[in-house]
Amino acid sequence: MKALILCGGKGSRLSPLTDTQPKCMVDVAGKPVLKRIVDYLHTYHIYDIVINIHKYPEQVMKYFGNDLLYYYEPEPLGEHITEQNLRVWLGDQYLVMNGDTLTDLALDRMVNLGKDKHLTVESISNGIYTGIKFVNINCPTLTYNFHCWWQDMGTPEGLKKAIQYYEAVGSMSNM
């Protein structure tokens, strides 16, 4: 399976952190967020990864080198156009992730479910349960819920929560 990580935004919600670096390179507890996403994909044996990039592309390319494929956008195209432009390389079954969203979703379960190509993702939170719900576009009453941690770190509040999560996970693994 191949993956597209969307990193082509301007990162304005995280200014001033993103005034001199792309949002995907913002540090989250010792690693750039994009490195955390790439490591996550590697645990599921997904190594064919392309990212779209717009702001400060040289920083990302210097850090990752040949480990990723890059689709440079002089001006952000938007996720649908980017995906459409890369569809030939991506093939029939692929994963699209936001470059500012971190998760511990059991990706293998989702991929097996993903044989139905018409799924969209919604986040679920009622204060206790958090996770994501996959909704079949053709049959909205057909949903699949996954308990997981899911955090958009693209805002100062989200970044703080993501850092807290990884610091807590890191301290538990050092015991």
Q: The whole model's pTM is what?
A: 0.85
Place of tokens 């935004």: 9
Domains, the chain: 2-100 (3.90.550.10)
- Taking only the tens place, the pLDDT of each residue in 142-161 is 566 666 778 889 999 999 99
Measure the CA–CA gap between 38 and 154, rounded to whole angstroms: 17
Backbone angles phi, psi at 159, to 5 degrees: -60, -45
- The yes-or-no verdict on residue 51 having pLDDT over 90 is yes
Q: Are 97 and 4 in contact (CB under 8 A)?
A: yes
pLDDT of residue 162: 93
